[in-house]
Structure formats: structure tokens, C-alpha cells
Amino acid sequence: MGEETTTLGTIHISPSALATIAYHATMTSYGVVGLAPRNLAEGLAMSITHEPARGVSVNYNGEEIDIDVHIIIEYGTRITSVADSVANAVRYQVEKALGMPIHHVNVHIQGLRISNPD
């Protein structure tokens, strides 16, 4: 995917490498209490592999990079504000590491966690 040709050869950056960066950016964002598998099959696979980028998918169509993150948010926070800062943090961290622009960062709220009923 992310590809760059230098005088020494070509550098390939795999989607899962980017997903790991996006995962860490998401997990340190305020209001996010977890990432969620996109579907049941992934959920099952994840429970055995402990893949560090669960809930994050990176799509590259040959021109543009899109990142989707599926998150669980703390109940009682303003969802749009949290989603905004996740999108900003993911874009910033990935673009900083990659040096290429990210086309879209899509944030999917998969659930809310209630830890403080009030």
C-alpha cells in the first residue's frame, strides 16, 4: 500500500502497520474506552490472536488511504466531540508517521460503556 521509491529500492508500508498506529492514537484519545470488532467473525478471530489493531481497518484503493475505527465510548461524554478528537488524533499520528495524506478517517461508535450511572 503506502509505497515510496527511493534510490535504494522501494519501501512498502503494510495496512496493518498503519492500523497499529491508528489503534494507539485511538486508545489514548479521551472518551474512548475500547475498540470493537467490526463483526462476529473478527471478534472470534481476535479473541485467539490478540492482534493489536482490532477494530481498525485500513483501506487503500491505489490512490487514497481511508481508515475506519470502531470504538466504544464512555457514557456521558459528548459523542461528537469525542469522535472528532479521535479522527483528529488518528489523522495526525498516521500522517506524521507516514508522511502521506490520509483521505478519510471514519469513526464508528459501536457502543457506549456505562461506568458511572447518574
Partner 1 sequence: MNPDVQARLERLKSTPIDGQVLKKLVEAGLTWLRANQQIVNLLNVFPVPDGDTGTNMVLTMQSAYNEIVSLGHHGVGQMAAAVSQGALMGARGNSGVILSQLWRGFAHALHNQDVLDGPSLVRAFAEGRDTAYKGVVRPVEGTILTVAKDSATAAAEALSKTDNPFEILARVVMAADASVERTPDLLPVLKQAGVVDSGGKGLFFILEGMLRYINGEPLDTPTSTVQPISAMNMENAMEDIEPGQDFEVVVDFIPAQELDLQKFYAELETMGTSIQVGEGEGMYRMHIHVPTENRNKPADYIMGLGTITKVGMENLVAQMDEIDKKSAGSRIELTSIEPGQIAVVSVSPGQGISRVFASLGVAAIVEGGQTMNPSTKDILDAFENLPTDKVIILPNNKNIYLAAQQAKEVTVKHVYIIPTHNIPQGLAAMMHLNPDGAVEAVAARMNKSIEDVIAIEITTATRTVEIDGVSVEQGQVIALVNGKLAVSTASVEESCLVALEKAGTTDRELITLFYGEDLSSAEANRIVDVVRAAYPAQEIELQDGGQPHYQFIISVE
| Residues forming the site for partner 1 (CB under 8 A) | 27-34, 74, 76-78, 81-82, 84-85, 88-89, 92-93, 115-116, 118
Between CA 75 and CA 92 the distance in angstroms is: 25
Give whichever of 65 and 71 is closer to partner 1, judged by the CB atom.
71
Cell numbers linked to 60: 487503500
Q: Is 48 exposed, middle or buried (0-12, 13-18, 19+ CB in 10 A)?
A: exposed
CB of 82 to partner 1, least distance (A): 6
DSSP 31: T
CB of 54 to partner 1, least distance (A): 13
Give whichever of 32 and 67 is closer to partner 1, judged by the CB atom.
32
Give whichever of 65 and 83 is closer to partner 1, judged by the CB atom.
83
DSSP 37: -
CB of 73 to partner 1, least distance (A): 9
Please identify which residue in the block is written with the cell numbers 475498540.
Answer: 35
CB of 56 to partner 1, least distance (A): 14
Residues paired with 105 in a beta bridge: 67
